[in-house]
Amino acid sequence: MIKSLLVSLLITFSSLAVASEDHNEAKRLLDSGDILPLETILKKVRKTYPGKILEVELESEHGQRIYEIELLTDDGMVLELITDAITGELLSTKKEH
């Protein structure tokens, strides 16, 4: 039982460390002007896709910084929107199942 608790604590603290590093990296990119502020991106997205934001992740795919946005539309559909974090351009939209 103690071993299980230790493993659980290690996993929890490892996840917190990664989240902190992600936050620091996002802040650095924002402060340097390498990415647009999330609020700028969300204002643009909401003009076309009104609804509730469920989750947002800043990621790097193939050397490109993207915001991956999960959104619940007013009619109950969940969408995943991929936007370019530098330009704000909507790159793709897909329905989640």
Q: How do the pLDDT tens digits run along the chain, 97 residues long?
A: 444 444 444 444 443 333 445 678 777 887 878 889 988 999 999 899 999 999 998 888 888 899 999 999 989 999 999 999 999 999 999 998 6
Place of tokens 């290690």: 10
Q: 51 and 28 in one domain? A: no
Sign of CA dihedral 8, 9, 15, 19: positive
Tell me, yes or no, whether 63 and 96 share the same domain: yes
- Cα angle vertex 26, ends 41, 20, to 5°? 130
Q: Which pLDDT belongs to residue 25?
A: 79
Q: Give Cα 86 distance to the centre of its chain.
A: 14
Give the integer Cα–Cα distance in Å for 40 and 23.
18
Q: What is the pLDDT of residue 63?
A: 86
Residues 22, 43, single domain; the answer is no
pLDDT at 21: 57
Same structural domain for residues 29 and 39? Answer: no
At position 13, the amino acid (one-letter code) is F
Please check whether residues 27 and 49 belong to one and the same domain: no
Residues 61 and 96 in one domain: yes
Q: Report the alpha-carbon distance of residue 57 to residue 29 in Å, rounded.
A: 14
Domain residues for the domain of 11 are 1-34
What's the pTM value of the predicted model, to 2 decimals?
0.72
Same domain, residue pair 3 and 49: no
Assess whether 48 and 95 both reside in one domain: yes
- Same domain flag for 48 and 27: no
